[in-house]
Structure 1
Amino acid sequence: MSIFQNSSSHGRLVGGPSRHQAQDEDVEDSEDDEVICAESFDDRMAMGEEYEEVDDEAELQADRDQQILQEACLPVSGAPMPPSEGPPKDADEYLRQVQWERLHCPEVVDVDVKERKSKHKVDGPLSGKDGSGGLLALFQAPEVPARFRHAEAWASDAAASFRHLRALCELECKSGKRAQSLSYEEWRRHVAKDRPDSQLLAAQDFVGINHLVVVAIDKFEKDLESFQCATDESDAGFLSGFQGEGVDSVSEWIFAALAFVEEPLVDDIQYQLQRLRRVCCRFAAAVEGTAAKADGDMEPGAAEATCAFLHPRVALLLVLVIEVFGQH
């Protein structure tokens, strides 16, 4: 063999590996990466980091891939470093400072915030406490006055009795065909002139009962507004210009509707129950506030008569909303 043949052969060996050799090296590199990832994961487990046990191998592999991706997205060249007086020199230094701040930042920070008065008119439709406005003020409920609060023993018995009633109503619904679904307007006519009928309610489907809940609570809220207007404009007493019979009737409708509401509660029914809780609290606060304002201008028995009329209805509805359906 000539020297040129040796040189040519040697050149082919030095010039680069063959296709099969390159593929073998890629496979070895991939296996090395998997070993490194596994060792890194085992090291983290040994350091005490908590991981949930995952039975599915695919989910475990997805967690490893996510960890590798996160490290690739946030590459840093060193340990976390405290912030310097000047700006970070580069992105790497910035990320290391962010890591340091994350490690040293307390979970709870107390900050003094100066409250600013709302631009809205005080006592306006969006006004909350001390004139602070905003839509969230519409979802605030005043504290129930002492005379409207109920005993815990009575609340427990009332909730247990209502749960038993709901179980009977559920059996009645299952025994018949629930083919009806009255509209909002049809329920408004029933609430305005009729009393609740168990057969009518048992025949309603899910949508029909939800319509009744909305209509009844709307009527109860209008009765609250009527009461507030009557007490503001009248000097003769609490019930002057206020139709107490309407509150009595709509309270009965709300009680009946809640007896047929299906569980688990959908979002809209939870919202309606929260509305009902707020209306009850506002009703009680309105009666108490009017009694205190007109203490010297009206007959002593007027306040007691109104409280005696509203107390059992408001207290019972609050017990149903809070104790039975868990809407605090």
Structure 2
Amino acid sequence: MASDSDSSDCGILNQALPIAKLPKNYKPNDAPASAEEYLHHVVWEARQCQAVVTVDLEEHRLNKPIAVVQKQVKAAAPDGFTPSLESQQNLLASFSKLRAHIANLNASGRKPKPPIPLPGIKKREEWCKLCFGNSFQLALLKQSHQDSVQPQLIEGKQPLLSILLNIKQKGIENLLEWHGQWLEVLGFSEAQGRWFYSLLACLEKPLTPETCSQIRHIAMMCARIRASLETADHPHLPQLNVIICIVARYFCQEDLVDH
């Protein structure tokens, strides 16, 4: 940008705009009042830059170890514990049919009324009681060895369509997150297997990154529980396989697929 007489300041750069030399009385602290004064200021700033700049490196910082995050790997299933490809395909077909039915009911606006008043979408403890009754609470009391008088057993509700269709999508996502937490605390149950299947059937695509991470975590835990089963006749095995298959194949988590 400098004139021919200032070409030494610009090295091998070609002149872009014609401009006269800087005035002898040039004051760089004054704000440019014209385009020419602005170009003078650009030339002056360029002259302040060093031709070569070096940095003194601190050797001890270069040798600092870097944390490596290892990707979680699904627990391998024992021989004979995974469903056949045909079984998985049949499962996905029936699951897709159920999701289409749910979508049609939502689109029609003909939602059946829930059999009971539903808690708010942030009422974690109330939803726990609705899904499991107070068996979860009783198990926690037993786990903590509390000697207080335990409440009478109350049965949880089945994941009926009349309940599920009246839960907003944010509530579905919250329930999946909470069920994942409950699974970590007390392990797997048939009631929870039914709720997992039903909630996944109501989960809309595309998934948020948080929800995708959550259902992956659930499938990984189910795979870990499956790997710990002593026999392929265990009553939990079919439900565990269903959850893993749906998350892996329907929600496209290919690294979790059972081959």
TM-score range, shorter chain: 0.5 to 0.7
Q: Secondary structure at the match of 2:80?
A: helix
Aligned residues: 174
Q: How far 1:218 moved relative to its partner?
A: 2.4
Q: Deviations over 1:43-63 (max 9, x none)?
A: xxxxxxxxxxxxxxxxxxxxx
- Report the equivalent of 1:190: 130
Q: Deviations over 1:130-152 (max 9, x none)?
A: xxxx9967944321222211111
Q: Secondary structure at the match of 2:236?
A: helix
In 1, Cα distance between the equivalents of 2:85 and 2:226?
18
- Report the equivalent of 2:172: 209
Tell me which stretches of 4 or more aligned residues in structure 1 moved more than 6 Å: none
The residue type equivalent to 2:94 in the other structure is S
Aligned partner (choices 245, 250, 257) of residue 319 of structure 1: 245
Q: How far 1:221 moved relative to its partner?
A: 2.9
Q: How far 1:219 moved relative to its partner?
A: 2.7
Residues 190 and 146 of structure 1, relative CA distance in 2, 3 Å threshold: same
Aligned partner (choices 193, 214, 225) of residue 283 of structure 1: 225
Matches within 5 A, 1:31-70: 33=16
Q: Deviations over 1:174-222 (max 9, x none)?
A: 33399x7533222211111111121211111121111211222223333
Q: Does 1:221 align with 2:147?
A: no
Residues 259 and 135 of structure 1, relative CA distance in 2, 3 Å threshold: farther
The residue type equivalent to 2:206 in the other structure is P
- Structure 1: gaps (5+ residues): 1-22, 24-30, 35-71, 78-89, 95-133, 225-245, 292-302
TM-score normalised by length of structure 2: 0.56
The residue type equivalent to 1:214 in the other structure is E
Q: Give the structure with higher Rg (CA).
A: 1
Indicate conservation of the 8 Å contact 1:173/1:203, yes or no.
no
Identity level (%): 20
Indicate conservation of the 8 Å contact 2:81/2:232, yes or no.
no
- Report the equivalent of 2:97: 164
Q: Does 1:262 align with 2:204?
A: yes
Indicate conservation of the 8 Å contact 1:219/1:250, yes or no.
no
In 1, Cα distance between the equivalents of 2:68 and 2:125?
28
The higher relative CO (CA closer than 8 Å, separation ≥ 6) is in 2
Q: Which has the higher helix share?
A: 1
In 2, Cα distance between the equivalents of 1:144 and 1:135?
27
TM-score normalised by length of structure 1: 0.45
Q: Secondary structure at the match of 2:158?
A: coil
Matches within 5 A, 1:146-157: 146-157=79-90
Q: Secondary structure at the match of 2:205?
A: coil
In 2, Cα distance between the equivalents of 1:263 and 1:275?
18
Q: How far 1:223 moved relative to its partner?
A: 3.7
Q: Secondary structure at the match of 1:148?
A: coil
Q: Secondary structure at the match of 2:98?
A: helix
The residue type equivalent to 1:206 in the other structure is Q
The residue type equivalent to 2:219 in the other structure is R
Q: How far 1:91 moved relative to its partner?
A: 6.0
Residues 304 and 201 of structure 1, relative CA distance in 2, 3 Å threshold: closer
Q: How far 1:164 moved relative to its partner?
A: 1.9
Q: Secondary structure at the match of 1:142?
A: coil
- Structure 2: gaps (5+ residues): 4-13, 18-45, 56-66, 112-117, 133-155
Q: Secondary structure at the match of 2:207?
A: coil
Two-structure CA RMSD over aligned residues (Å): 3.8
Indicate conservation of the 8 Å contact 1:177/1:203, yes or no.
no
